[in-house]
Amino acid sequence: MALVTMKELLTKAQRGNYGVGAFSVANMEIVMGVIKAAEELNSPVILQVAQVRLPYSPLAIFGPMMVAAAKEAKVPVAVHLDHGLDIDHVEKALEIGFTSVMIDASHDSLDENISKVKTVKALADKYGATVEAEVGQVGGSEDGSEDIAMMYSDINDILNLYEATKLDALAIAIGNAHGFYKETPKLNFDLLKEAAESIPIPLVLHGGSGISDDDFRKCIQYGIRKINVATSTFVSTVDAVNDYISSVGRPEYFAMSRSMVDGAYANVSRLIKVFGSDGKA
């Protein structure tokens, strides 16, 4: 159990036809809530932090905490750098002990994307770590600061990036977006199915907050194996804290800390069941 590579988790999910939740974390309490849910439901899980969140959760401090939590867990846990934007941060994450990294060059040309993925793959291979990339462009932005237009992945780009890099997991754009959706997302399941049939590696769905349970299940049916969730967990955590504060006259710090754990746990445990990874550790 304990700390494993993301490739190990996703390969097993491929065989079992279920999804693994990749839950973005921002503090110790959210980490504890994710691990609590995973252990209680006997589920594999991925702890991740995006590079744009590092001003709030510094990698040198928070990264070792994530790795330590994974090592202490009773279920298999991968630790992942999400949306890495430069080689320096990718390398730092690997040095800390992250077992997976994503290099996001989806905003670049395909040739430049391939070049960056090759560089990261060569680096990650030295650490035995998993590499994820993105082709097409998922809408919104990871930190909510931009309203980036979604660009559907092109099947030829998917094939070319995989063949040129032999990376381990690929995020594609099928109508999904980061953050909460302004309207009900209309996912392109035909594109998803074609991508899954065209390349042998696990596919990744970014922007999991706001997608319906039925669409999650359909995505998994058609080949999604890693599902990124951030916003809904953060909102659940804040809501739990607000409920606690409103129920007492004077908040007590450690009780408030427990409410953060409970808030993260509530969202993660529900989604683990939706993704079908419960009992799969």
d(CA 134, CA 126): 22
d(CA 32, CA 29): 5
d(CA 152, CA 60): 35
207 and 140 in contact (C-beta within 8 Å)?
A: yes
Burial 227-256 (b: 16+ CB within 10 A, else e): bbbbbbbbebbeebbeebeeeeeeeeeeee
Residue with tokens 């099947």: 155
Per annotation, catalytic residue among 82, 104, 215, 262: 82
Active site residue 243: no
CB neighbour list of residue 202: distance below 8 Å, 6 or more residues apart:
10, 11, 13, 14, 168, 169, 170, 223, 225, 226
Residue with tokens 């599902």: 227
Residue with tokens 């974390």: 25
3-state secondary structure of 225: strand
Helix segments in the chain, DSSP class H: 6-16, 28-40, 59-72, 87-96, 110-127, 155-165, 189-198, 213-221, 231-247, 253-275
Catalytic residues: 82
